Amino acid sequence: MQAVLRPIQPSDDAQLAKLIKSVLAEFKANKPGTAYFDESTNHLSVLFENPKSAYWVCEAEGKIIGAGGIYPTEGLPEGVCELVKLYLYPEGRGRGLGKLLMQKCFEQAKELGYRQIYLETMPELNQAVNLYHALGFKTLCQAMGNSGHFGCDIWMVKEL
């Protein structure tokens, strides 16, 4: 199954909301203060119209199997963006697609002038946490910025 990365399109919104909510539910992370209850999850293409943001969809055989992006979250220091809404269906995992999506995010963040990339996650998503560490993210003691995701209690940052 060959996967293709492409920028988000408005027609992707419903499939992306389903992806995010189903992965969070799969890992029992569908709790308040997460993307599961974030209204923007239902219309991501609008959110990512921001010129300092980017979002990629990973598609295989016409089906979205993963996605992820960067966003200038409110309250982050100058030169820092957030790695956001990075999710993969089970059939997309273990194939290097998460790493591919993140590398695309790192490249785009550098092109947009960011010096650091920040993320928020939770212990339920331990497979992702391991990948973040492997790709150079360092754990922080507290959150940066105002994402509104109070359900996340792991905060990490990476120098670009």
How long is the chain? 160
Q: What is the per-residue pLDDT across 105-116, written as a single tens digit (0 to 9) for each?
A: 999 999 999 999
Q: Please check whether residue 45 is in contact with residue 93, taking contact to mean a CB–CB distance below 8 angstroms.
A: no
Q: What pLDDT does residue 125 have?
A: 84
Closest among 21, 19, 18 to 35, alpha carbons compared: 21
Residue with tokens 């969070």: 24
Output the CA torsion 28→101→6→17 (10° steps).
Answer: 10
Q: In this structure, are strands 138-140 and 116-121 parallel, antiparallel, or unpaired? A: unpaired
Q: What pLDDT does residue 51 have?
A: 96
Closest among 68, 64, 30 to 48, alpha carbons compared: 68
Q: Please check whether residue 55 is in contact with residue 67, taking contact to mean a CB–CB distance below 8 angstroms.
A: yes
Give the residues across from 68 on adjacent strands. 56
- Tell me the CATH number of domain 3-159, given options 3.40.50.2000, 3.40.50.970, 3.20.20.10, 3.40.630.30: 3.40.630.30
Q: What is the per-residue pLDDT across 2-60, written as a single tens digit (0 to 9) for each?
A: 889 999 999 999 999 999 999 989 988 888 878 878 888 899 999 999 999 999 999 99
Q: How much is the pTM?
A: 0.92
Q: What is the per-residue pLDDT across 63-87, written as a single tens digit (0 to 9) for each?
A: 999 999 999 999 999 999 999 999 9
* Distance (Å, whole) CA 98 – CA 118: 16
